[in-house]
Structure 1
Amino acid sequence: MPSTSLARFSLNSLHAFAAAARHLSFTRAADELCVTQAAVSQQIKALEAQLGKPLFLRTARGLQLSDEGTRLAPAVQQAFAQLDAALAQFESSAPRERLTVAVVGTYLHGHLLARLPDFEARHPHIELRLQTHNNKVDLATETLDAAIRFGDGAWRSVEALPLQAAPLSPLCAPSIAARLRAPADLRGQVLLRSYRAQDWPAWAQAAGCPALVARGPQFDSSVLMVQAAVQGAGVALAPPALFTRELASGALAQPFEATVDVGRYWLTRSLTRESGPAWAAFRDWLVGRPRSDAGPMSARDFNDPTADAR
């Protein structure tokens, strides 16, 4: 049996893979590593040849991780983040600053989790503490520095920075999707529910089909609801953009193109609490800062189309 020792593999190849997996782009990985796109491609091909497995798939949705790549990426990215953090200790003896952030589970699953090693590598002196929530969080009373939540951004005494739009669409197991020819066919299916009762009626209106009444199990987490859909328990209504891995692997199907926009994800903090350098670093890493720090930003600062509707 051939050895699987780390010594067999090039650190350059592993580094290229970690960056490409994080960005899902060879070009952006090349920019991060200050090399050419061709160099990144060659390193990935060499690593795939050694493993005997493809690590990426080219799909209509763009570059995606294969099943093998999905299993390997977190370990490789974490290893490089830990190495960077260990080396950073020799560069500075500054104490670590703690930042506690509550995150809605869907955004953590579909976007943030895979990017955490990059934040740790860039900010080794920030101790990031994450708590999941079901979109019900009170920044004024809880011991939180920030929260990522879903909604329209109109929270009282809160600075809300728009992160990602999240149009909803039905998602289900491929075996169920094969039976769905038109949106009206959903009337014969178990429709899984979140706590937002208006979502299914809103999607039905957007899809131009008769009103849909969801009487299936109710979940306080879209991640759990989609996992139930993967198991064949019914049809979930969730953002496809945050379940790309499940869709790319074939575990999940999106039977209809129609989507409905009922909100987006926001990075928020209470304006009644003083912010520190750790908050600024996390904010800049996650959303950037498109203007000077003259004051809190709102949806209007980002030309968000929902701003005028509130």
Structure 2
Amino acid sequence: MTRSTLPYHALHVLVAVADRGSIRAAARHIGRSESAVSHLLKDLERRLGRTLLERKGRGIELTPLALRYVSRLREPFHHIDQATTEFVAEPLPQHVVLTLPPALATLWLVPAITDFEQSLPEVELRLVTTNRTLDLYRDGIDLAIRYRADGRSGGQAMLTLPEYAFPVCAPSLAERLRLQPSALGEMRRLINDAHYEEWSLWQRTLDEPVVLSAWTERLADSTLTLEAAAQGYALAMGRTPLVNGLLTSGRLSAPLGTHYPTGAIYEVVFNERSARSEACRRVTDWIGQQFALSSRTGETSTSIPSS
């Protein structure tokens, strides 16, 4: 006989009958009918091949063998009850649904997810990555991080983060620029199709013009562009906060400085029904801390090498 062949509920009924003294009292205690209790006990007797109950006058009593069996069952049942009580008492993880652009999720949020889990272990963050502007109420979204190219907030912003854009490259290329500033006019540049005018827009922010190479290649999005740059393939435009993790890790350098605002912003907006929840508030606070760290990248500046 293996424990897998004995139904838990039948053993529970047997203990209840022993504790309550009758089938009727046991049935009332566990919320089952008397016939159901009797059926379970008969099935248990059949499985065990032993008699568990015997009639005494108008009532029933457990056989001596059954009493010894029950005495051994009480302790594990007590442990099960105690474990169940503790399990049910544990607060359920609170979940927050966050939507954000795929590139922001890949390059900014995912590298910080370990910090999130350590800071908010009781919160389950569910991500919806899309470049579409979702309806927070219809789509069941608690928070959204949205990109505003024109810098205009949608009106419900809880947090905003200004974007900066600046040339980045692998450390080996940055060292070459340091030793030979004129190499800027010779290096291959990557054009990000998601921001195809970013090089010319960056040039307009400069006090003095610089010569850029006409040798360019186009890539589909920021994730591909920055990874290619980190591999030493070419120069790229890094945009905060997407590039921050690669700068922090040392895979990319910003040899020409970082203090070049684009006028665009990221903003955090919320579903008003969700904003009152403690979990939503704590996630927003955490995002604010990450935004504060990200904004420091745009506060540094270095001189542009003269050709």
Quick check: 1:169 aligned with 2:166?
Answer: yes
Q: What SS does the aligned partner of 1:138 have?
A: coil
Structure-2 residue corresponding to 1:239: 239
Q: Determine if the alignment matches structure 1 residue 280 to structure 2 residue 281.
A: yes
1:171 positional shift = 0.8
Q: 2 CA distance for matches of 1:120 and 1:250?
A: 24
Alpha-carbon spacing, 1:274–1:241, altered in 2? closer, same or farther (3 Å)? closer
Q: Does 1:223 align with 2:219?
A: no
Judged with a 3 Å threshold, the aligned counterparts in structure 2 of structure 1 residues 211 and 148 are, in CA distance, closer, same or farther, namely farther
Matching residue of 1:49: none
CA shift digits 1:17-40 (9 cap, x unpaired): xxxxxxxxxxxxxxxxxxxxxxxx
1:26-175 pair list within 5 angstroms: 92-105=89-102, 107-109=104-106, 111-133=108-130, 135-140=131-136, 142-151=139-148, 154-156=152-154, 159-175=156-172
Quote how far apart the aligned CAs of 1:211 are: 8.4
Structure-1-length-normalised TM-score: 0.50
Gaps of 5+ in 1: 1-88, 289-310
**Which whole-Å CA distance do the structure 1 matches of 2:146 and 2:216 have between them?**
25
Mark the CA change 1:211 to 1:269 in structure 2 (over 3 Å): closer, same or farther: farther
Larger radius of gyration: 2
| Aligned match of 1:201 | 200
Deviation readout 1:27-68 (Å, 9 max, x if unpaired): xxxxxxxxxxxxxxxxxxxxxxxxxxxxxxxxxxxxxxxxxx
| 1: CA distance, partners of 2:124 / 2:240 | 31
Report if the CA contact (8 A) 1:163-1:267 is conserved. Answer: yes
Cα pair 1:161 1:287 within 8 Å, conserved: no
Q: Following the alignment from structure 2 to structure 1, what is the Cα–Cα distance between the partners of residues 269 and 182?
A: 35
Deviation at 1:251, TM superposition (A): 3.0
CA distance in 2 between counterparts of 1:164 and 1:183 reads 34
> Contact (CA 8 Å) 2:187, 2:235: kept in 1 or not?
no
SS in 1 for 2:268: strand
User: What letter is aligned with 1:223?
Assistant: T
- Pick closer, same or farther for the CA change 1:183–1:96 going to 2, 3 Å: farther
Does the Cα contact within 8 Å between 2:187 and 2:215 map onto a contact in 1? no
Counterpart mapping for 1:241-260 below 5 A: 243-244=243-244, 246-247=246-247, 250-257=250-257, 259-260=259-260
Distance in 2 between the 1:269 and 1:246 partners? 29
Which amino acid is the alignment partner of residue 133 of structure 2?
Answer: V
Is the contact made by 1:139 and 1:269 (CA closer than 8 Å) also made in structure 2? Answer: no
Q: Kindly tell me: are residues 110 and 204 of structure 1, through their superposed partners in 2, closer, same or farther at Cα, counting changes over 3 Å?
A: same
8 Å CA contact retained: 2:190, 2:219: no
Rounded Cα–Cα distance in structure 2 between residues aligned with 1:270 and 1:185: 46
RMSD, aligned α-carbons:
3.7
Q: 1:203 deviation in Å?
A: 0.6
What TM-score results when the alignment is normalised by the length of structure 2?
0.50
8 Å CA contact 2:190–2:225 kept in 1: the answer is: no
C-alpha distance in 2 between matches for 1:112 and 1:244: 11
CA distance in 2, matches of 1:267, 1:143: 16
Q: Which runs of 5+ in 2 are unaligned?
A: 1-85, 290-307
Shift of 1:206: 1.5
One-letter code aligned to 2:280: W
Q: Is the 8 A contact 2:97 2:126 kept in 1?
A: yes
Q: Which residue of 2 aligns with 1:192?
A: 191
Q: Which letter maps to 1:148?
A: I
When residues 232 and 122 of structure 1 are mapped into structure 2, their CA distance, relative to the original with a 3 A threshold, is closer
Output the CA distance in 1 between the equivalents of 2:224 and 2:237.
Answer: 12
